[in-house]
Amino acid sequence: MLDKSQQGLMLEMRRKLFGYACALSRDMSSAEDLYQETLLRAMSATAAPDNEVAYRVWMFRIMRNLWVDGLRAEGRLPEFDDSTEIDNLSANKGDDLVVNALAVRQAFQRLSKAHRDILALVDICGFSYADAAEMLDVPTGTIMSRMSRARAALTKLMQDEIKIVSLPLRRTQRKLGDKG
């Protein structure tokens, strides 16, 4: 049973937990189920870490294990490709473009499960590379490479969709405003 401090932490992190659930799941209904089941598992646990950082890792690990268990049951486990050279992925980096948040969201949903997992752990859940490495049981250097590959894959998807838009320059806006 969680003590008061742990319940408070759970309240604080619930948005990130649900965000992680949405990142892992392809539809909202599955995400809600994963989120609810994670909270129930945590609340009914007989023991939980006292340390705040360890407690966060523990909560997200419950969710990730539930997700992995579900995929394993369906024979669809995520696979990381740690062998691809990163430089090969970054030939066109979209450096000259200002990205559109909606395009990022759409491209994110089309990423592989493995890429969504690592991006969500670092960018949505806010874990350090060291924490993510502990959770995935891989070296920190591997997390560094996976983050690079995942962002390169996200950029490539956005370019494929041609949904990256350039924001107008402020000076252009001012000029148009002056004329208007």
Partner 1 sequence: MRPETSDRVLNAFIDGELSPAEVARISVVIADDPTLAQRVAHLHQIKAAVSAMPDDLVLPAPPMPRQDKKGKFRGVRALIAGCALLLAVFWSAPVTGPAYQDTASPFIGQHDHWVSQGAERDGVVLPESFDWLRPLMHASGLKLVHYSQEGNLQHFGFKGVNACRLSLFVSSEAAAVSPFQLSLTEQVQHAQWYIGTLAFDMIARDMAPVRFATVATALYHGSQDHAADEALQIAFLQAARLPCTA
d(CA 161, CA 29): 26
Interface with partner 1 in residues 62-91 (CB under 8 A)? 86-87, 89-90
Q: Which of 93, 139, 160, 161 binds partner 1 (CB under 8 A)?
A: 93
d(CA 98, CA 165): 7
d(CA 92, CA 166): 16
Residue 4 found at the interface with partner 1 (CB under 8 A): yes
| Long-range pairs of 79-87 with CB within 8 A, sequence gap ≥ 24 | 79/114, 80/114, 80/118, 80/146, 81/114, 81/149, 82/142, 82/145, 82/146, 84/149, 86/145, 86/148, 86/149, 86/152
Task: Name the amino acid, one letter, at 159.
Answer: Q
Interface with partner 1 in residues 29-48 (CB under 8 A)? 32, 35-37, 39-40, 43-44
The DSSP secondary-structure symbol of 139 reads -
Which of residues 9 and 68 has its CB atom nearest to partner 1 in the complex? 9
Contact criterion met (CB below 8 Å) for 87 and 150 = no
Which of residues 47 and 169 has its CB atom nearest to partner 1 in the complex? 169
Site pattern 130..169 for partner 1 (x: CB under 8 A): --------------xx-xx--xx-xx-----------xxx
- Interface residues with partner 1 (CB under 8 A) are 4-5, 7-8, 10-12, 14-16, 18-19, 22-23, 32, 35-37, 39-40, 43-44, 86-87, 89-90, 93-99, 101, 104-105, 108, 119-120, 122-124, 126, 128-129, 144-145, 147-148, 151-152, 154-155, 167-171
